Structure 1
Amino acid sequence: MGRFGLVILVAVLGLSLSSVFVVSEGERAIVSRFGKVLKDDVDGKEVTRVVSPGLHFKIPAIDKIRHLDARIQTLDGAADRFVTSEKKDLMVDSYVKWRIRDFEKYYLSTNGGIKANAESLLQRKINNDLRTEFGRRTIKEIVSGKRDELQTDALENASESAKDLGIEVVDVRVKQINLPANVSNSIYQRMRAERQAVAKEHRAQGKEQSEIIRATIDANVTVKIAEAERKALTVRGEGDALAAKIYADAYSKDAEFYSFLRSLEAYKESFAGNNDIMVLEPDSDFFKYMKSVTGKGN
C-alpha cells in the first residue's frame, strides 16, 4: 500500500470515528444540524429528536450534539430574604431536587440546554413561590409544625410553574431560617442588656440580703454577749453574797476563832515570798496572835 492509500485509510478511519457518538446511561442528547434541532415526524407532528443512551451516528462537522443530564439534580442556592405576613424579614436557606421531564422544552427554554440558565430560571421561580408562601404566614407559624405545610404548598406551586421549563420539581426543602444579621445583632444586644439588668438586680438583692443577715448576726452576738455578762455579774454577785453570808455566819458562831483564822490566812499570804519586807510597829494588831493565842497581850 502506497503513501496515498495510507492517507486515504487514515481519513476514512477518522471520518468513521467522528461520525459516532455515545450517550451514557442517565443522559439524553439533542442533535442540531446547521443550527436547527432535528425533529421526527410522529403522527403527523414534528417532535424534537431526543437521543436515548447508546451508540449513535451523526454527520461529521455538521451535526452538533448537546448532552443533557436526565438524573435527579440538586439546586442549592444562596439564602434569600423573605417577608412574613407580619412584615418581618427572614433569611431563608432552601434547596430543590429537580430533573428534566420534557427534553425538547428544556432545550428550547434554556438557550440550548445550558444547565446554568436552567438553574437560574428555576431558582427565580422557586424563590417567587417561597416568597408567596412566607408572605401568607407569621413567624410563629413558619417555625412551628406548619413548616411541612409550607414546603408542600411550595412544592405544588413550583411543580406547576416549572413545567414551562420542561423541568419536574421533585422536592422543595427549607434548610434553615434566620433573622437578618442587623436584626439578629439588635436582638442579641437587647437580650444581653436584659440579662445584665437581671444579673445586676440579683446582685443588688444578694448584697441587701447579706447586709441584713450580717446585721442580724451582729445584733444577736451583741445580745448574747450582754446576756452572758449579765448572767456572769448575777452569778458573781450571788457568789459574793453567799461568801459574805458564810463569813457572817462563821463570825456570829465564834468571833474569836474567826478572827484567828483570818489572821492565819493573812500571815500565810504576807509571808509567802522570800524577799517580802514589812514595816510595822511591834504593838500592831497584825501580830496580836503571835504574842498570845487568845490575841490579848500579857
Structure 2
Amino acid sequence: RLIQPRVDESLRNEFGRLDLQQIIAERRDDLMIGPTQDLDTLLREELGVAIVDVRVKRIDLPEDVSAAVFDRMRSEREREAREWRAQGEEEAERIRANADRRRQVLLAQATERSETLRGEGDAEAAAIFSDAYSVDQEFFTFWRSLNAYRDSFEGDGNMLVLDPSSDFFRYLKSAAPSNGE
C-alpha cells in the first residue's frame, strides 16, 4: 500500500516527459532504469525496502488521450488503405491499358493478314478465270450465263421482265452455239 502510490507517481513523472511513441518503443526497458533507481534510493531510506526492478504490464491512458490515440491510429490505417487502393487502381489501369493496346495490335495484324489473303485469293481467282476464258471463250460465256440464270430465278416469287429476244436468253433459244458451229 505504501509502495504503489510512489511507483505510480515515479512512472507518471517518467512517462510525462516522453511522447507515446517513445513509451511503446523497443527501448521500453531502458526507460525503467531511472524510476527503478530513484524508487530504490527513496524507499530504502523511508521503508527499508530495496526496489530491484519495475516493469510495466499495461499502460492505461486517460479516456480523452486514448480516444485521440485510437482516432489517430484509425486515420493512419485509413490513409494507408487509401494509398494501397490507389496503387491497386493505378496498376489495374496499367494492366487494362496494356491489354487494350495488345488487343488493338492483334486485331490490326489479323485484319492486315486477312486482307492480304483475300487479295491473294481474289488475284488467283481472277487469274484462273482469265486462263479459263482464254482457253474457250464461248464456254466461259455460256457458264456465266447459266450462273446469271440461276441467280436471277433463285427464291420464291421472283419475276423478271425482259424482252425475249434480248441477249440474256441467247443460250435458252437454241441448243446450237451462236458462232455457227
Determine the structure 1 residue equivalent to 2:47.
162
Cα shift at 1:87: 1.8
Determine the structure 2 residue equivalent to 1:63.
none
Query: Normalization by structure 1: what TM-score?
Result: 0.46
Give the number of the structure whose residues are more often helix, by fraction.
Answer: 2
Query: Normalization by structure 2: what TM-score?
Result: 0.70
- Please give the alpha-carbon distance, in whole angstroms, between the structure 1 residues aligned to 2:81 and 2:156: 75
Count of residues in correspondence between the two structures: 174
- Please give the alpha-carbon distance, in whole angstroms, between the structure 1 residues aligned to 2:37 and 2:13: 19
Determine the structure 2 residue equivalent to 1:209.
91
Q: Deviations over 1:119-157 (max 9, x none)?
A: xxxxxxxxxxxxxxxxxxx85687227758965874575
Determine the structure 2 residue equivalent to 1:60.
none
Give the number of the structure whose residues are more often strand, by fraction.
Answer: 1
Alignment partner of 1:180 is 2:61: yes
Alignment partner of 1:287 is 2:169: yes
SS of residue matched to 1:180: coil
1:144 to 9, 29, 39: 29
Root-mean-square deviation (Å) = 3.8
- Please give the alpha-carbon distance, in whole angstroms, between the structure 1 residues aligned to 2:115 and 2:51: 98
Q: Deviations over 1:41-89 (max 9, x none)?
A: xxxxxxxxxxxxxxxxxxxxxxxxxxxxxxxxx8785783422288238
Q: Percent identity?
A: 37
- Please give the alpha-carbon distance, in whole angstroms, between the structure 2 residues aligned to 1:213 and 1:170: 64
- Please give the alpha-carbon distance, in whole angstroms, between the structure 2 residues aligned to 1:282 and 1:157: 135
Unaligned runs of 5+ in 2: none
Residue pair 1:142, 1:150 contacting (<8 A) in 2 also: no
Residue pair 2:132, 2:140 contacting (<8 A) in 1 also: yes
- Please give the alpha-carbon distance, in whole angstroms, between the structure 1 residues aligned to 2:104 and 2:159: 47
- Structure 1 pair 283–229 and aligned structure 2 pair: CA distance change class (3 A): same
- Structure 1 pair 285–75 and aligned structure 2 pair: CA distance change class (3 A): farther
1:230 to 106, 109, 112: 112
Residue pair 1:159, 1:169 contacting (<8 A) in 2 also: yes
SS of residue matched to 1:144: helix
Aligned residue type for 1:242? E
Aligned residue type for 2:178? G
- Which of structures 1 and 2 has the bigger CA Rg? 1
Residue pair 1:251, 1:258 contacting (<8 A) in 2 also: yes
- Structure 1 pair 203–283 and aligned structure 2 pair: CA distance change class (3 A): same
Greater shift in the superposed pair: 210-219 or 242-251: 210-219
Unaligned runs of 5+ in 1: 1-73, 91-137
